[in-house]
Structure 1
Amino acid sequence: MTKADVVNEISKNTGIEKVTVQKTVEAFMETVKANLVKGNNVYLRGFGSFVIKRRAEKTARNISRNTTIIIPAHNIPSFKPSKSFVSKVKDTKK
């Protein structure tokens, strides 16, 4: 499902114009990104959490040049679904 599909589905279910829904979805995503950049986690009860995870520094290999490189410590965004979300997906039969 793409962002356009999400916008179409919300618009169809709520009767709100697609342009308004698209602006709302974009604003939501920008808010989540902006808060993660600031170092704040975003918690959506019943859905999940957008959190920042810290990756430690590590040594890696560049196979083509046969050299060792150091990958510095860095932060990455991550999504952790809520327990109710996980249980609904687990219980779904294909």
Structure 2
Amino acid sequence: MNKSDLILKLQDRNDFLSKKDIEDSLNTLIDYISYSLSKNARIEIRGFGSFSVRKRKKRLARNPRSGKSISVPEKYHPYFRSSKALKEALKK
């Protein structure tokens, strides 16, 4: 499911909201999560999961074409941890 599919599903379940309102709300949510993660904040949605930022350490890697070792600098990446409730729902 992609973003436009999600918007259509939400519109089917909430016929009193326009597609534009749903799209704006979803964009606002995504923008806020992105902004919060850029500030290294943790976002928790109870019953769903939490978003946070993790740091990958500096490491050596190999260039597949030349075979030479290259240094990959440390970098930050988004991380999602699902809640127990979500994990249980997926088991069913």
TM over 0.5: yes
Q: In structure 2, what is the Cα distance between the partners aligned to 1:63 and 1:54?
A: 24
- CA offsets 1:53-73 (integer angstroms, 9 cap, x no match): 111111000121121101111
Unaligned residue ranges in structure 1 (runs of 5+) = none
RMSD (CA atoms): 0.8
Structure 2 unaligned segments of length 5 or more: list them: none
SS at match of 1:52: strand
Q: Give identity over the alignment, percent.
A: 25
Size of the aligned set, in residue pairs, is: 91
Normalised by the length of structure 2, the TM-score is: 0.94
Normalising by structure 1, what TM-score? 0.92
Q: Provide runs of 4+ in structure 1 moved above 6 Å.
A: none
For residues 77 and 63 of structure 1, the distance between their equivalents in structure 2, rounded to whole angstroms, comes to 26
State the one-letter code of the partner of 2:58. Answer: E
